[in-house]
Structure formats: C-alpha cells, structure tokens
Structure 1
Amino acid sequence: MKKKLSALLISFIFICSLITGAYAAPAASTKPQTFRFNLYTNPSTLDPARIVDSTEFTVAQALYEGLTRLTKTGQAEPGMAKSWDISKDGKTYTFHLRSSAYWSNNQKVKASDFEYAWKRALNPKMNADYAFLLYSISNAESYNKGLIDVSKVGVKALDDNTLQVTLQEKTAYFLQLLTTPIYSPVPASIAKTNPNWFASAKTLVSNGPFYMKAWMPNKQIILAKNSHYSDAKQIHFTEVRIQIMDNPEKELQMYKSNQIDWSGSDQTNISRQALDSNTIKDLHVSEIASTFYYVFNVNKKPFDNVNIRRAFSMAIHRDKLVSAATPAYGFVPPGIQGAKQSFREEYSDKAYISENVKLAKQLLKKGLEEEGLDELPPVTLISNDTLGIEELLTGLQQMLGQNLGVKVNIEFQEWYELLQNRRDQNYQIARASWGADYNDPSSFLDIFTSWSGMNDSGWSNADYDGYIRKAQQTFDAKTRMELYHKAEQLLLDQMVILPSHYFTVNTLQKSYVQGVYKNFAGNTVFSRGSIK
C-alpha cells in the first residue's frame, strides 16, 4: 500500500518481516474491551475508492470488508462472500454473499453495492489512484480511460446475494486483489444521495467489524463494535480509540503511563535507547513487506539520462547508510511469496545492482558528455521530514558528494505536499516507499506499468508492460515468477528507482493486548484483538 505510497507509504528507517502463522481468535475476556493507540496523521479520506496510504488502510480495514479478507499470513479467505464458483477458463467468478451481511445502519449488504462501488471507482471523473487494481475486470481499463460505456464493465449483480465478475484475462491473484479497500462495497442507496457520506461519523456507513462513532480530524477517531457485522461474534473490542498526534516522544510517554495500549503506528520509529528496563520487555521487532527507495523523474534533467541515474545508484554503499535494516538492491522485498520459496530467495536482488564507485564515476562522466555538460548542476531531493529520516538523507547526500562530487540539496515538505509533487512530476528525485497490498510480486511491480495511477516516475516501457500483462494471466507459478524477475531486472537496469532498504518495524504492546499485530504489509490490524 502508497502502501500502499502504499503504498504502505512508510516514512522512517526501520521496518522488517512479520512473523507469520495461522490466526486464532483470542479468548473472550470479562475485562473492559477498549483498545487505544496512536496514528501520526489524520486519514485524508475514508472513501474506499480513494484510500491510498497506510494510515487510511489501518482505519479502513476496521470499517469495510470486501468479498474476501486477509488472514494473518496475508492469504485471502471468505469475507462478505461465503463462497464462490470459478468457470473452467478461470475468467468468470460467481460470488455468493452471506445472508448475514449488513451495513452498520442495519440495511442489507447487496451484490449491487459491490457493482456500484467498483464502477464508481472506475469512473474517469473519480480519478482514483488505485483504479488500476480493478483492471483485471473485463473492460475496466477501457472504461476508466473513457473509451467505453460503463455497462460493458464485467461486473453484474445477478440478485441481492449473487455477484458475477468477468475478468479480462484469468488472474492468478484475483482473490488477493479483492481484499484491498478499492474492492470494498459502497452503500449505494446512501452514496447516490450524499456523495460525501464517508467524510464524517454522522454519515459514514460501514459493513466491517466497526463503525465510526466519532471523528475529530487531527485529534481522535473513536470506533465502536458493529453489531450488524456478519462475524460480530468474533469481535471482542467494544471500542477502539485512535489518537492522531505527530509526536513520538509524547506517544512513548503515553504508553509508559498506560494511556495507550500499543505504540508503533505506521509512521513511528521506536528507539531502544528511549526505553526503560520495563518498557523494553514490551518491544516486538518484525519484518514487513515494504521497501524504502528514491524515485527519479526520468522526464526531468539530468535524470532523463540513464547513465546518470545508474551512477547515483552505484555510488551508494547501502550497508553503511542503513546498518539497522536490510540493504535493498531490488524492489520486491523479502516476505513476498514466489513459486515455492519467497521471491527474494528465488531471485537474489544482488544480481541487479553493484556498488562500484570507480564505475559510477565513469558512468557519470559518460552521462555528462551525452548531456553536453562539464559538471552536474546541483540537484534537489524532496522528502517529508519525520523521525530518523533526516539522518538517512544526510548520509545519502554526503556519500554522493564524496563519491561523485555532486551537490544534492534536500527540500523537506509536508507529507501530502510531497505526494502531490510526485503525482505532478514536480521533482528531480523524491523519497518514496511501498508496502504490499497483497502477497504477490505484482503488488510492487504493477506500480511502474504505463497504466498505473501510482507511477509518478514518468517512465514507460512496452517490454516491462508485456512482462506484467503476461504474468497476470499465467497460473503456473514458476513461469509467472520468471516473468516478474525479468520485469524487475528491467526496472533496475533502467534505474527508474534507487532502492535503499527493506523495512523493519518496532512496536510496543502491552502484555494484556491479544490478537493485535502488524500484517505483512505493515498495517496495524486490531479487528479481532482483545484485552485479556
């Protein structure tokens, strides 16, 4: 997820691989079931069609549920759909909704709510960044680009409890895609009369484990158990209180004084040095499928020159920059499933990038000659400013100066300003990060396709698009992973991005909190937690 920006968009240095295992629902408790934690930013939206970052994902997974939902290990299991049938050619799915599926206002969740939601997200006027995740559906891409009428999109409610979906081509990871927020239903009867139904607690209607009890932007969100949820018996928290506060030191003090039960939201970095002997016992370190990288604007000088991009990447010694994390030489992180092992175990990222200052200088000289330059003018790297990141950027700045003699100016921006400048390609180099939406290499590699709403690099390559298209339609796991390998190899050969490191995440969890965890994508999952 801008995990995602997804993706997940995680803004600090240490993030790492979630300890996976089958999820078992926690035992019921007689203690008050109120869970308290902090988020660093206010969700910019809770419209399922527009949710893009990890803060929004964390709240959305408690409010909405799609046809399938994720297990703790990142696999898809039945959600609003109790079952489904797949045609012999693998292109038509018929989903059967649970009879117990209701909205928080006690209205039935209908198949037409899914049809309405998906077509709404694809509407060209919506301009949804994640619309490309719906492109597996027949004619979805053509409608999203304004080429055909909406009636031709391959999703249809056959009756209140039956949804038929026709895919453009068979898609190996389609059930995984259904767990992402953009595939969530929308209460059509409400949304048609109130386009901003999702913007306040008074009007937001949800079909997930919780409903929005109160929303005080930039201060607090209060969620309450949704008694109309189809699996309400498995939900133990009666209330979830989410502080919204961009102050890691104060958050830690709140944890120590028992004002919150969990610390380590998506944009925090807990320092061991700040923990006393009692608090450090609550520390959990885990890996998640997320990558920190820098993206080049390949349409803006000097980074329209591939040799200059390659020089920057080869001049970096990643292990010296990120000693507390795993250096990244590829884009797909550890933890993402391959054919039999993880993708990174099957295809080492060390084959993509070499760190060689002498060769980097030669490439820079060649690039400058191609551009008719004697030396490289100062370049600007844009980033948000959050705990730990300034040290990382300063190290990169110094290393490029020492090894290549180039001057890199760092410009700090507010998070959403940074995202907008990336979307508008108003930058030379930008800091970025991505966390998996679902457990497949496509969750990362799809970003840099020519049709992706998340591709803010300006790069487009027909061969790359072809590898991704073919992989999508290939059910043989080994063949599909080989196609992803070729795509990633091309992405790094063209040096569209400069990978930095794969994330580790530190969290603090009170001993009485059970069933709350960071999922493989780095989002805080609490829907089936409890206070024991």
Structure 2
Amino acid sequence: MPKYTLLLIISCALFLSACTSKPKEDDKTIFSYNEMAGISSLDPAQAINFENIWPVNQLFNGLVQMDDKMNVIPGLAHKFSISENGLVYTFHLRNDVFFHDNPCFEGGRGRKVNAKDFVFSFDRLYDPKVSSATTLLSNIDRTEKTNYKGFEALDDSTFRITLKQPFAAFLSILTMKFFSVIPYEAIDYYKQDFRRNPVGTGPFVFKLWEEGTKLILLRNANYYEVDENNKSLPYLDAVSVSFVRDRETAFMELLGGKFDMLSGADAFNTNEVLDKNGDLKDSYAQKFYLQKQTFLKTDYIGFLIDESIPIVKNSPLRLKAVRQAINYGFDRDKLIKYLRSNVGEPAHAGFIPMGMRSYDTAKVKGYYYSPDKVRELLALAGFPNGKGLPEITMYATDNYKEQVEFIQAQLSENNIKIQVSIEKPTVLKQAVNSCEYTMFKKSWVGDYADEENFMSLFYSKNFSPQGVNYFHYNNPEFDKMYETAQIENDDQKKIELYQKMDQMIIEDAPVIPLYYDQVVRLVHHHVKDLGSNPMNLLNLKTVKKVKETK
C-alpha cells in the first residue's frame, strides 16, 4: 500500500478516536517500522518470537516489567512481597488501570482491571492449544495444599501465586509477555479470533491489522503511566508496522522516510552501512544514528553426545577431545570481523553471554584459535593429524551459510573434514528436537534476564524433544549446581555457581559458543528517547518524534 494512503488511514483513525480537541494533522506523530518476518498473533499467550513480542509489548501489561538495565520493576502491581520460604508471591494491584475500550465490554467502555483477571489470564496459559508457555508453569503449586489453586484473587486488588519450590528467577519470568493480563470478555466475544483482535491495558490500542500488509496501533488516552513531569504517556499518536519482506526494498523505504527504524543486522546490508569497525559510515550518519547494544543471545554449534542414541555410538563427536579440537579449530575474531562487520563479540568465555552478571572472561575461560591445540587433542583422541577421523556433517540454515562455510574451511586446514548441509528452518528445528543430527548451528535468546535460562539447556531433566537440552548433556555435578542456583537468594553465591557451571560446559564441550550477538538498530535522527536493552524489547511509550530542520 502506498505510503500516503497508509498515512491517510492512520490520520482518519486518529481523528475519529480523538476525544479531546483535535490537533492539526501536521502535528501527528506516527512511529513506523518494518517487520520482515511478519506477525502471526497479537495474543500475548502466543508471544514466542520478537515479531509478535514487539507489538504485544505496546498493547499489554503484566504484574511486573523489565527496565532497560534489566531490573524487575513494578508494572500493574504497584508493590509485591515474597514469603520467607520463597514459595508465596503476593501482588498488590494499582486501582487506576483500565482495559482498552472495545465492543466486548458492555457499552464498549473498558472496565477496571482486578485480581480475578490475572487468575483468568494465567489459568488460560495451561491450555496447550492457547500457549506455548505451559512449561513455565510447571512450578506452580496446583495441589491439595493450595486447594488446587496456584493462582488466587484474595480480593479485587490482591493476587497471589504459590510455587511448589523456591525459584529465584520467578519474577524475571513474570516479565515475559505471556503473563500479560487480558479480560475474559474479550475471549468470550472473539474466541479463537482474539489473536487478531487484542484487548489489553498497554500504552497503545489496537486499530487495524491487514495480515502481511500493515498493523496500526493508536495512542491509549487512558493509559496509567506518566513521565517525571506528570505528563501522560505515551507521547506518540500512533504506531505503524509494515511487512516488507525484501531487505533492499525495506532499506530504500527507510531512506525515503517511510520507516523510522530498521532493526537487526539482517535488516540491512551491514557492509554498505557500517565501516570495518562496525560504526556507522559518515554518509549515513547525517540522517541516522546507530544503536548497538549487548544482546542476551548466544550463537553456537551444538553436538549430540548421548551414546545411547544410535547415530552417536560410532560418531567421533562422542569423544570430548574431538569436540574440544573443533572448538580450537577456527578463528572467532575473524568470523566477527569479516562476516558480521564487527556486530557481536567473539565467544571467548562460556555459553552465558555478555550482559549477564556472571559473564567474566577472567572467571570463565573459553576457546581461542590454536592449531597446536587442535593437533594435540586430535592425537589424544586417536586421530593424529586427523588421520582416520571420519567426515562430520554440520547442519545449518541458509542465513548462516557463510559462517558455517568459513568454519568448515578453517577446520579443513586443521585436518578436520566437515560437510555442510543447508536445511530449511522447520526441517532443522524438527531434526534437532528429534535427535537426528549430531552437529548443528543454532542460537539461544534469553527468554528472561537470568543465567538460569541459558544453563537450562544443559540440565539433564530437559532432554529434547520435551525440553531444550538438544545435546542430551548429562552431568550429575552440573545438575546439582543448577538445582542449587535456582533456590539461592544470595546474588554473589548464585553468580559463582553459574560461573562454575559455565566453565564445566566449556570443558565438556557439548557446544561451540561462536559469538554473543548485539542489538543493532538504524534509526532516523528525528526519533528521540528510543530505549535499547539486552532483551531487545521495543518500548515505544517514551519515544518522541521531532520535526527535522530543513
């Protein structure tokens, strides 16, 4: 749809929805961005990827939220308490929060949020047809002890959650968009179509979604949050999301002013826009600024190492020395410099990425490029100079083709023969979950800001396909530390536990940490106060747009 037609639609929508004096059309502030991958649902219960999470974050709120420094702060709960035994969480709700106006309510006016709404919203997550968050609820105590109610509304403004066992990261989990509040009226009214008719409490209200074409959100005039000067948030009048799939077309639209931002290193040609140091080239710096931020994301190559699985029994990857040799067999620094335009940091520590409290290269010592170590380890494994070492197949998706071929070439120089097989994302995901591949390229993005989320990939009770331990790594000592860390409330002790666990993963080598990614955004200078955070959440409630001087 042409740019001006879309702006006309938004302007008309703003005009019709205004309930105070109408500002001039030129004063409208609309933030526009592109989502190449498209959006599949606006139901927070289905906010499983950034494409969905970003708009959902504008539409919904939860009990608590994460600030840009990854601190858990109050959300719809103005205060909360945790029992001494760490099992009972009590939340006291604000009394000034209303659901968006919507036909699902009597008279079309949104009503006040109460504790029963949270009981309804959280109970709804147990339905696997509704949400993929069911595993996050496994620690909720729904036994006879709580009268089979893990979630309780003690009164209209008090909500209680009871856990089976203490879990130090629980508040961080509650910042995930799965745990947003929704009204039962909207589910009764829209039923399965709630995914495209969202009703929440957030700073923006749903207006229009033409799947594959555009999404329009309007300012929520009744939003509860204010700035330090007591001015109502948000500042923007609207948010517009487009779904241009072609990268070059989207980049031209950014240059032409249709978009205010492009996000992600894959969203534009980094070699064109960034210099060899990963900074914005002067030719683009006049019009844009570059946001680069630590991202809680580790890109890695995984190994399936469970010898009870037939394809592992005779695989050289069952041998720790071979896995360690592969870790030493290529240059991570060159990979970042030449293939990623210095976006990201080479993974010379553990699996836990930069940005987490336990990240410390002095405490967790990872791998570096060393042909000498490769030779030493191959000989130890019984393959001197690679003699007798079978060829290994590494599986990846097309967007990582250059990276895995770079690794393949360097390993070949060190007498480790790798065959690369490029698969469709759905095929790779299913095959890895089903233990069909012994070597595969994947990444892990933190679901919440706690090291536990990254270490959960190596816990033996999380074996795939039910869990995320795709390697079938099994180490009782690791498991014991993992379980201890979950209930440890002393931050320093917990950090030390995670550092020991991370070093253990490096030494056992069920994975090859490649690099710690970065959030990268190319933003027009007229956009002000666009926050950036290691969770890569898009928060537009405090964003402003100023007129460009000509």
1:431 aligned to which of 428, 432, 441: 441
Distance of aligned partners of 1:135 and 1:480 in 2 relative to their CA distance in 1, 3 Å threshold: farther
Match status 1:52 vs 2:58: no
| Cα 1:121/1:457, change in 2 over 3 Å | farther
How far does residue 239 in structure 1 lie from its aligned partner after superposition? 1.3
1:238-275: per-residue Cα shift (whole Å, max 9, x none)?
21111122322222211111111112247435525347
State the partner residue of 1:448: 458
Answer with 164-173 or 74-83: which moved more.
164-173
Q: Does 1:220 align with 2:219?
A: no
**Paired residue for 1:485, among 499, 520, 523?**
499
Q: 1:398 aligns with which of 409, 434, 441?
A: 409
Give the secondary structure class of the aligned counterpart of 1:518: coil
Give me the whole-angstrom Cα distance separating, in 2, the residues matched to 1:116 and 1:151.
16
Select which of 74, 83, 88 maps to 1:87: 83
For 1:270 and 1:249, the matched residues in 2 are separated by 8
Which residue of 2 is the match for residue 33 of structure 1? Answer: 29
* 1:407 Cα deviation after fit: 2.5
**How many residues are treated as equivalent by the alignment?**
481
Q: Aligned to 1:307, which of 321, 335, 350?
A: 321
Partner of 2:113: 109
Q: What one-letter code is carried by the residue in structure 1 that aligns with 2:136?
A: L
Counterpart of 1:138 in structure 2 is 141
Larger RCO (alpha carbons 8 Å, 6+ apart): 1
CA distance in 1: counterparts of 2:369 and 2:132, whole angstroms: 34
Higher alpha-carbon deviation: 41-50 or 73-82: 41-50
SS for the counterpart of 1:242 is: strand
Secondary structure at the aligned position of 1:58 is classed as helix
The 5 Å alignment of 1:234-383 reads 234-265=233-264, 267-271=266-270, 273-274=272-273, 277-281=282-286, 282-288=288-294, 289-299=296-306, 300-301=311-312, 302=315, 303-323=317-337, 324=342, 325-329=344-348, 330-337=350-357, 343-345=358-360, 348-349=363-364, 351-353=365-367, 355-364=369-378, 367=381, 374-383=388-397
CA displacement 1:44-102 (0-9 Å, x = unmatched):
34443333222222222112211011212221111111222333333322111122222
Residue of structure 2 equivalent to 1:413: 424
Aligned to 1:168: 164
- Counterpart CA distance in 2 for 1:456 and 1:521 is 23
TM-score normalised by L of structure 1:
0.81
Matched AA of 2:487: Q
Percentage identity across paired residues of the two chains: 23
The answer to whether the 8 Å contact 1:84/1:95 transfers is yes
Asked whether the equivalents of residues 435 and 522 of structure 1 are also in contact (C-alpha less than 8 Å), the reply is no
State the alpha-carbon separation in 2 of the partners of residues 307 and 285 from structure 1. Answer: 40
Q: 1:93 to 1:266 in 2, by over 3 A?
A: farther
| The one of 103, 118, 123 aligned to 1:119 | 123
Task: Write the distance in 2 (CA, Å) between the matches of 1:266 and 1:517.
Answer: 18
Q: Which residue does 2:174 correspond to in 1?
A: 178
Within 1, Cα distance between the matches of 2:518 and 2:215?
27
User: Residue type matched to 1:65 in 2?
Assistant: N
Select which of 509, 514, 522 maps to 2:528.
514
Q: Deviations over 1:170-227 (max 9, x none)?
A: 4333332211122222433443675524422xx3222222233222333322222234
Q: Which residue of 2 aligns with 1:188?
A: 184
Q: Unpaired segments of 5 or more residues in structure 1?
A: 1-28, 338-342
Does 1:231 find its partner at 2:225?
A: yes
| Number of the residue aligned with 2:486 | 472
Measured in 2, the distance between the counterparts of 1:417 and 1:48 equals: 26
SS at match of 1:94: strand
Q: 1:525 is paired with a residue of what secondary structure?
A: coil
Alignment root-mean-square deviation, CA:
3.0
Deviation of 1:277 after TM superposition, in Å, equals 4.2
Displacement of 1:368: 6.8
* SS of corresponding position for 2:479: helix
Shift of 1:395: 0.8
- Give the 3 Å change call, closer, same or farther, for CA 511–159 of structure 1 in structure 2: same
Q: Go from structure 1 to structure 2 and tell me whether the alpha carbon gap of 1:197 and 1:487 turns closer, same or farther (over 3 Å shift).
A: farther
Q: Secondary structure at the match of 2:54?
A: helix
Q: Secondary structure at the match of 2:492?
A: helix
**Is this contact kept in 2: 1:286–1:505, CA < 8 A?**
yes
CA contact (8 A) 2:87 2:166 kept: yes
**SS of residue in 1 equivalent to 2:245:** coil
| CA distance, structure 2, for counterparts of residue 194 and residue 463 of structure 1 | 50
- Cα offset, 1:132, TM superposition: 3.7
Q: 1:412 to 1:45 in 2, by over 3 A?
A: same
| 2:166 is aligned with 1:152 | no
User: Which residue matches 1:24?
Assistant: none
Distance 1:518 1:73 in 2: 9
Conservation of the 8 A alpha-carbon contact between 1:269 and 1:505: no
* Cα pair 2:34 2:244 within 8 Å, conserved: yes
| SS, match of residue 491 in structure 1 | helix
Structure 1 residues 101, 127: closer, same or farther in 2, change over 3 A? closer
Q: Rg bigger for which structure? A: 2
Q: Which residue of 1 aligns with 2:229?
A: none
